[in-house]
Amino acid sequence: MNDAAGAPAVMEGNSHMKTSRHALAAALLLAGAAPIFAQADTEAATVQAAGKAHYGNWGVDLDGRDLAVKAGDDFYRHASNSWFRNNPIPADRNSYSLWTVLDQEIERQVRAIVEGGGSDPVARQVGDFYASWMDEAAIEARGLSAAQPHLDRIAAVTDRAGLLRLFATPGFPVPIGVGILPDPADPTRYTASVEQAGLGMPNRDYYLREGEQYDRYRAAYRDYVVSLHRLAGLSEPEARADAIIALERRIAEAHWTPERSRDIQQIYNPMNRAQLIALAPQFGWNETLPQLGLGELPTIVAGETTAIAAIGEMLDTVSLDTWKAWMTFHFLSDNAAFLPRAFDQANFDFYQRTLRGVERQRERWQRGIGLLNGMMGEAVGRLYVERHFPAESRRQMNELIANLRGAFADRLERLDWMDAETRAQALAKLETFEPRIGHPERFIDYSPVQVARGDLLGNVLRARDFQWNLQVSRLGGPVDRGLWNMNPQTINASYNPLLNQITFPAGILQPPFFDPNADPAVNYGAIGAVIGHEIGHGFDDQGRQFDATGRIRDWWTATAAERFRERASRLGGQYSGYEPLPGLTVNGDLTMGENIGDLGGLEMAYAAYRRHVAQHGEPPVVDGLTGDQRFFLAFAQVWRSHLRDGTLRERVLTDPHSPPEYRVNGVVRNMDAWYRAFNVQPGDRLYLPPEQRVKIW
């Protein structure tokens, strides 16, 4: 779950919209990911550390504020409106934020590594992969020859059995997703999951919502489908496009809504082979599961059961020719960036220009870095941390995490709505949290991946095949707790409820999120809020359904659960009232877990900061700002982010995170300390009477 407002996808096509069989089932993993970090508690009592802070004199960009906007009316713009005016979205971006600024710096660092060469086998392998991406002349010269064997295999299918064999073959599109993950019933072993997939647009809303904007999206999508058929020299492009889109509309009608797909009780449906066959016999599980390497698993977790069953029925009612056309189109679309420029441009024009409002492609080298991060991310990460992750960052992060955990434990001890029985188990879960900082202790070995400088598509398909086979190879053994779900160079953070782990990659342990030379108030407000956010995911509306061992289990008393739900419901009601675009409101149910994480994370970070103050004394006023004011400004400024309207619309419809504006304003208006810090009074637009402020943690 990516919180980075400007973080790019691996590629600029639609790969993020399709459930790939080598991706863990995101809905069951619940890997919350939030941005913003704070520094560790140090022994220094001074406001400013010995070195120079990256932003301003002590860690916050004061020039980015807009003092004409009253803090109590719009704290988000009070903290950053001048920055917004002076930093428009670049033509090659769908958004722009401090995430983008840091991401660009990391891209430059990785580029220097990748283009620097060297005798190290990992460096050579990564360099060859990158070179295959950068050699546009070779890509144009090869035309469709690299893709043709795969297209020929689709064309040669004569019956459903042949279609299913391709569904179970890595590299080919699938209408349902398959993933491997720790078993929620026993997180010490692996199992597999199946879930809804099959759409080419971001989610069901793009097919089913009414209105001119969605009509334009659907018309542009049809043009895109037709365009790829023509570029590939396929016959009857219009008729094929209409058949594909009619099929995808039926799939969309069967898909669950995003908020339903994040309900653990609904998507956790363990089934044995017989039950899976009864659910959707059309998928030929007795043949496809062994082909996928999953034949020995006693149970499979089914996600959106009715959607899976409905898609199975479509194998009976939709013609084989239409399914073959669907598979051909999606193979071309999923791999458009690795084919001649005309395919790549068509893909960009729809997914980036039309859906998200991006005006032009990013520089090719930047997109190449994104490709490497997606295909061989830990190989790149190993080289990155050797140059750019100081040991001191790990030490300070360990200190800060310990302080945040201590602050949360204190809050759990004093919660008036949690009974003693639930409190004891909550404290036990907090005690078993495992923090991971910077990078994995053991990196993935990509040496089996054959990389050829003149074969970009082949390199991509072989890397995907390797990733899937690597996951399959772990079946039957104990769950490897040392695996990471993000690369070290990633600007993000996550929580995994199945393993009760919080993860903070090296990429985010840099300004503005983490600055060892910043005022402690800044680091507590920035990265401290992220640490608190990730800890809080273990106790949000989803994470609370997993116990200290990561097993799905209801460990709450009925009374405590009802009191929690009442508070969460009031918070959801607040967010459902926010309207980022005319007629489009935030979905308080879809964003519930992240909203709880944001509010609880800042509450924890503030409590930890006040512990720091108690130890070292009340800090002086600096540049006219108290320590508490500096804390809240640091929190707000890391979320400063422009989003194009199309991008904002997509996020509201698909993303479990609220738009950045509400991740600031929606949080602070519930915190008494913010009211005191900025003298927020009745009549201010963000003001909530004390009885309406939601307090969970």
pLDDT of 119: 77
Contact, 396 vs 436, CB < 8 A? no
* CB burial readout 509-544, b (16+ within 10 A) else e: bbbbbbbbbbbbbbbbbbbbbbbbbbbbbbbbbbbb
pLDDT of 10: 32
User: Residue 601 and residue 594: Cα distance in Å, rounded?
Assistant: 10
Tally Cβ neighbours within 10 Å of residue 140.
Answer: 12
Q: Domains plus CATH for the chain?
A: 31-42+96-109+396-439+484-692 (3.40.390.10)
3-state secondary structure of 436: strand
Contact, 205 vs 584, CB < 8 A? no
Contact, 280 vs 311, CB < 8 A? yes
Which pair of tokens denotes residue 199?
């759409």
DSSP 8-state secondary structure symbol assigned to residue 353: I
First-residue to last-residue Cα distance in the chain:
22
User: Residue 429 and residue 423: Cα distance in Å, rounded?
Assistant: 10
pLDDT of 43: 26
- Tens digit of pLDDT for each residue in 218-238? 999 999 999 999 999 999 999
Partners of residue 438 on adjacent β-strands: 505
Which ranges of 584-626 would DSSP assign to H, the alpha helix? Answer: 592-616
Does the pTM exceed 0.75? yes
Peptide bond into 512 cis (omega under 30): yes
Which pair of tokens denotes residue 341?
């420029």
Tell me the residue ranges of DSSP E strands in 501-625: 501-505
- The torsion angles phi and psi of 538, rounded to 5 degrees, stand at -70, -10
User: Residue 141 and residue 26: Cα distance in Å, rounded?
Assistant: 38
For the chain, residues with pLDDT lower than 70 are 1-50
pLDDT of 35: 29
- Tens digit of pLDDT for each residue in 369-396? 999 999 999 999 999 999 999 888 888 8
